[in-house]
A = this chain, B = another copy of it.
Amino acid sequence: MLESNPSPGPEPDRAGPEKPRLERQRILQAGVDFIEQHGARQLTMRRLGSALGVEAMSLYRYVPSRESLLDGIVETVIDELYGDPEVYVEPRHGWQDYLLRLAHGLRRLALKHPQVFPLVATRPTEAPWVRPPLRSLRWVESFLAALTSSGFSDRAAVATYRAFSSFLLGHLLLEVAALGADVGPVEEADPHPPASADLDGYPLLQQLQDLLSEDRSAQEFEESLENLMDRLEALAP
């Protein structure tokens, strides 16, 4: 995504709903918005094209395939982390602060993009040890640097990285799934009814349904995260 567009002549400063020219970033952003509105299953090249006022095939000048379009969409979302002022790429106030900010930043991201997040969580990564939801070499490098520079041994840093990603993946995936997002494929545009399933043979479920439906995700996230941090402190120097 190296843009070296050297000022395309005069300024296209015309007012009105012009077609501002197709660009990779514009396509990816439109993809994010489309998925957030209609779900990933509904995203087809033709539909995304027409959302941009363009034919499907035009997209292929900027994106080699639908698969890589999805990869780009995921990357676009993850890149928002760099724009989050609460998240630091460098550990400014110790590793605990770094991890807490990163965790909360990722949670914000997941909640902001509940439909895209399942892709962030489940799309194959470029190497097996690049784990969702961090997904990017830069962030993994930053993560490990934060820890080793705080005195963690190599092993401890790697162990922390693994524990941290498992924790986030489990929590956030379930949290966005509970929001009614499509995790995985499917979604028939069927915003299911109250979903008061037939719990006839399940007395406990009937009894506990209210409790089960209660949303305590924020508190649970904080508590589990705190527990994780306590555990990680045992590995710290």
B-binding residues in A (CB < 8 A) = 67, 70, 118-119, 121-129, 131-132, 137-138, 140-141, 144-145, 148, 154-155, 157-159, 161-163, 165-171, 173-174, 177-178, 180, 182-188, 195, 197, 199, 201-205, 207-209, 211-214, 216, 220, 224, 227, 231
Contact = CB atoms under 8 A, between A and B. Distances in A.
Given A145-B204, A158-B208, 13 more contacts: A67-B185, A67-B188, A70-B185, A122-B122, A124-B177, A137-B201, A140-B205, A155-B211, A158-B214, A159-B216, A162-B216, A166-B224, A170-B171
Contacts of A227: 227, 231
A214 B159 CA distance: 11
12 contacts: A124-B182, A124-B184, A124-B186, A128-B177, A132-B174, A132-B177, A158-B208, A158-B212, A161-B212, A166-B174, A170-B170, A227-B231
Given A154-B211, A224-B163, A141 B204 contact: yes
B174 A131 contact: yes
A155 B21 CA distance: 55
Contacts of A125: 177
Contact of A166 (B171, B188, B195): B171
Specify the main secondary structure of chain A where it touches its partner: helix
A98 to B, nearest CB: 15
Nearest to A157: B208
A155 B173 CA distance: 22
A159 B219 CA distance: 11
B137 A197 contact: yes
A197 B59 CA distance: 27
A102 to B, nearest CB: 16
B129 A184 contact: no
Contacts of A144: 204-205, 208
A167 to B, nearest CB: 6
Nearest to A71: B186
Contacts of A201: 137
Contacts of A158: 208, 211-212, 214
B213 A129 contact: yes
A159 B220 contact: yes
Contacts of A127: 195, 197
Given A124-B187, A170-B166, A170-B169, A137 B207 contact: no
